[in-house]
Structure 1
């Protein structure tokens, strides 16, 4: 068996991967908190879409890709099938969005969270192994079934807990703490799945080159895409009104309605007085 290395660049790749997972989890939990306060199904749908991109696209898939930058096999040239790599990203986003849809529409309960967690966890594990299937090298890849099963179990438990977080958390400190835990779970699932892998080198391919794109070739386009997604999420979250904003707006609307009603009553009584300008609290 060939020597398999998961930390070729030391702690740089796992550190950045963990940071991406924390960032994606934080943005995703903020989106799900906004989803719960949405007043229409359309608003709720779009918050689910944004949360799926944050959790599935950034916290899970981008973390997976970054961690793979530190993966190497002694004596092997590693390349990636672009189509399969893209499919793994789509799978991550879709399964997370469906899991969020299961718990996000209708009244959340234990059954919904568990069903959504199982579905999402198995899907996330599938994303990981699709990504591994996209890897090409001059060797035969095999997996330890017990570690594969452990990685799937970790994914299911992590997804279930994450969906529970999306239902109950809204405070900044709670979201930050949950994001740290979710980052550990996502990274733990990834490296458990990677530990299950072993490689037996075979004869090098004709010409000594393996077809496909190297991780370095994919780094810039994927990095740009991830930055655009993160930027879009931050903009959407910042531009959308918070629960406090909506409460303040509702308060002002009630005050304005009361003033207009009082003016109408006064006019009917023939004692119309020009209403004084309303000054919001704190001004």
Structure 2
């Protein structure tokens, strides 16, 4: 086994950050519609916000970040584990945002939902890395693993606070970039926790039945664009509908 020093594709690192910010902004925009004028909570909007945050802001960011990571060997991803990581990210985000939206904002709610979302993010990250297959193995730095989990919990708690405290489009844009920076910091800290060891054999041979770069890129972009398009259209028509509604007397 030979230790390898990974390199990064700067363009994809930047793209991973931007797609995280896009997902975060979609989530924040949707959260403004979670409560109707009658005070009722829209479970559909909470689910859409969780889908935007988990599916685009976290999951798509993670795998673009993984594609930016080059170890000079064919790297594939097990399809079922990759899909499970998506469900994990979305599920944790939906539960956290739904719990926050179910009642008035309180510190207690934040301290329950924040760690829930953070552990979901961290779980998604390491399941996603665990789905990776290549001619070698990873050895983990326990200290950096713990640090990445702590960052995930703190970042998720801050993100949920922003989701319920921010008002105004410009502030939402700023909050989205803050959330993207937090998610990216957790992601790249988690990646730094892994030391890569490749076999000294032929590194050009890939394993069958895996998702490789082109397939994964198609999946990530498709998920991100589909989620953003669906949520963007939904938010637009909901706002038009609310603008035309007469306040109840």
Q: TM-score, normalised by structure 1?
A: 0.81
Distance in 1 (CA, whole Å) between partners of 2:204 and 2:217 is: 25
Partner of 1:177: 174
CA deviations over 1:68-110 (Å, ceiling 9, x no partner): 1111213x32111011001001100000011112211022210
Distance in 1 (CA, whole Å) between partners of 2:56 and 2:7 is: 20
Partner of 1:219: 217
Runs of 5+ unmatched residues, structure 1? 255-283
**8 Å Cα contact 2:27/2:49 also seen in 1:** yes
Partner of 2:197: 200
SS at match of 1:200: strand
Q: Give the superposition deviation at 1:142.
A: 1.0
**1:164–1:135: structure 2 CA closer, same or farther, 3 Å change rule?**
same
Runs of 4+ in 1 over 6 A off after TM superposition: none
Partner of 1:14: 13
Are 1:48 and 2:56 matched, yes or no? no
CA deviations over 1:133-163 (Å, ceiling 9, x no partner): 0000111211111111111111101110111
**8 Å Cα contact 2:75/2:206 also seen in 1:** no
Q: Give the superposition deviation at 1:214.
A: 0.7
**8 Å Cα contact 2:118/2:154 also seen in 1:** yes
Partner of 1:96: 93
Distance in 2 (CA, whole Å) between partners of 1:194 and 1:235 is: 35
Distance in 1 (CA, whole Å) between partners of 2:111 and 2:237 is: 33
SS at match of 2:29: helix
Partner of 2:84: 87
Runs of 5+ unmatched residues, structure 2? none
Distance in 2 (CA, whole Å) between partners of 1:46 and 1:40 is: 15
Q: Which fold has the larger relative contact order, with Cα–Cα distance below 8 Å and residues 6 or more apart in sequence? A: 2
Q: Give the superposition deviation at 1:6.
A: 4.3
Distance in 1 (CA, whole Å) between partners of 2:240 and 2:145 is: 41
Distance in 2 (CA, whole Å) between partners of 1:38 and 1:142 is: 53
**1:104–1:6: structure 2 CA closer, same or farther, 3 Å change rule?**
farther
